[in-house]
């Protein structure tokens, strides 16, 4: 069974919505700057979504007095865009049979097809699988400010949103999804694993469509935690560059809608043709110098797709900008592709490392790379790192043939995931 991508939604430090993100990538405008969301003694750059919680609530039609974590708010914006882009809006969830403006024109998918007519008479089973690493930590930090002064103070409803699953439940409720809801939290590979779980559930006949991806908000806990690991760059990060010294944290959300052919309402963007998750368990926070985990996840994702490594046109690398990660991932690339590594780049110098949301956002970019024939620049690259000598893409390219994109996300503990997206033979419908 083929799994198609039919909806996209994204929020990042370079914009709200797919259109704003594309334009920022096209113009080379990054979202890295000073921390403004909360007071901190750390003077390190981050990538913040340029909207306050109050502005996000207004955008979503949520009363300003309602307690909602920033993680949930970012997720609501991106997931709602993805759901509506797929034509699976509130009406669809309420079982109204109104075709999307992107309804397939190809005769094999029209309402005249008996199989689809029968299927359309039944409500779609729609799931929501969301990834996050911090959950409602921003609200917990706010609660603790009052609580540490007086244990009888603090709003307990802020603590209720602490766990990762709370943001998922809030987003699903906002979308009107209740057929299946779950949360994935495997550090920086979380969103990729959410996408894989959604695909597997469709393949096993458990869902007809699923919204998959991740969301994470910046908070003091995350900032100080990564600072304790001594992997935060005090300047703008430089993935795959000789001078790289660390990463810049970011926040945001990204979601895809996945569907099988039997439930399509619009022309798909592309196919999720391959995926793999491997666990090398080399170190609690580091990757093996030889890139064993990255090599396995990429190799197995490519093998599951049925294509050859030579057919891959572009790689969205994990590329955090830390000395260990980039060297390890570079080694893995050379082990797979030899002297013919495909064009590749990291977008983290645009949006920062968004942790549990990273592959949600970067999967959206990867899908767009196929749909619009685009590859993205690796900002701030000057000199190749001596470990591999690899040179990433440094310019934005558009209008080029891109049929297969490999996208990597590697988490703590050696939880490594790779996704492979491929162009379909179904004629494209309306442009974004």
Catalytic residue ranges = 188, 318, 353
Q: How many CA atoms lie within 13 A of 206 on its CB side?
A: 13
How many angstroms separate the CA atoms of 377 and 350, rounded?
9
End-to-end CA separation in angstroms for the chain? 27
Instruction: Provide the token pair at 42.
Output: 């750390």
Asked if 361 contacts 254 with a C-beta cutoff of 8 angstroms, the reply is yes
How many angstroms separate the CA atoms of 368 and 265, rounded?
19
- Residue tagged 């919204």 (tokens): 211
Return phi, psi of residue 342, to 5°: -65, 165
How many angstroms separate the CA atoms of 158 and 155, rounded?
6
- Residue tagged 């979504």 (tokens): 49
How many angstroms separate the CA atoms of 404 and 382, rounded?
27
Asked if 387 contacts 330 with a C-beta cutoff of 8 angstroms, the reply is yes
- Report the run of H or E that residue 349 belongs to, with start and end: helix 348-351
């Amino acid at each position: 069974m083929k799994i198609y991508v039919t909806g996209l939604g994204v929020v990042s430090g370079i914009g709200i919505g797919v259109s704003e993100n594309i334009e920022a990538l096209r113009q080379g405008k990054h979202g890295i700057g000073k921390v403004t969301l909360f007071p901190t003694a750390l003077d390190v750059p981050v990538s913040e979504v340029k909207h306050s919680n109050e502005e996000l609530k207004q955008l979503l039609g949520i009363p300003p007095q309602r307690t909602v974590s920033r993680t949930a708010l970012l997720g609501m914006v991106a997931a709602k865009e993805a759901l509506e882009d797929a034509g699976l809006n509130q009406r669809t969830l309420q079982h109204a049979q109104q075709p999307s403006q992107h309804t397939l024109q190809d005769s094999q998918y029209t309402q005249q097809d008996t199989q689809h007519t029968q299927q359309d008479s039944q409500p779609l089973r729609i799931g929501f699988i969301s990834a996050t690493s911090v959950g409602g930590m921003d609200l917990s930090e706010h609660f603790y400010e009052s609580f540490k002064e007086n244990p009888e103070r603090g709003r307990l409803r802020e603590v209720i949103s602490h766990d990762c699953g709370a943001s998922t439940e809030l987003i699903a409720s906002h979308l009107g999804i209740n057929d299946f809801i779950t949360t994935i939290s495997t550090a920086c590979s979380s969103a990729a694993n959410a996408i894989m779980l959604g695909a597997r559930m469709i393949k096993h006949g458990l869902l007809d469509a699923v919204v998959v991806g991740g969301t994470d908000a910046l908070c003091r806990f995350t900032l100080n935690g990564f600072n304790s690991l001594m992997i935060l760059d005090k300047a703008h990060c430089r993935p795959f560059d000789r001078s790289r010294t660390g990463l810049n944290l970011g926040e945001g959300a990204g979601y895809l809608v996945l569907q099988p052919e039997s439930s399509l309402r619009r022309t798909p963007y592309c196919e999720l043709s391959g995926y793999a998750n491997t666990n090398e368990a080399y170190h609690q926070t580091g990757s093996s110098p030889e890139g064993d985990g990255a090599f396995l996840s990429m190799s197995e994702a490519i093998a599951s797709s049925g294509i050859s490594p030579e057919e891959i046109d572009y790689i969205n690398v994990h590329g955090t900008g830390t000395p260990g990660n980039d060297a390890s991932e570079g080694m893995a690339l050379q082990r797979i592709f030899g002297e013919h590594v495909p064009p590749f780049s990291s977008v983290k110098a645009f949006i920062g490392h968004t942790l549990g949301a990273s592959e949600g956002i970067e999967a959206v970019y990867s899908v767009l790379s196929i749909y619009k024939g685009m590859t993205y620049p690796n900002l701030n690259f000057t000199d190749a790192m001596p470990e591999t000598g690899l040179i990433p893409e440094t310019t934005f390219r558009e209008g080029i043939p891109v049929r297969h994109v490999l996208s990597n996300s590697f988490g703590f503990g050696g939880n490594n995931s790779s996704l492979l997206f491929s162009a379909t033979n179904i004629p494209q419908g309306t442009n974004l």
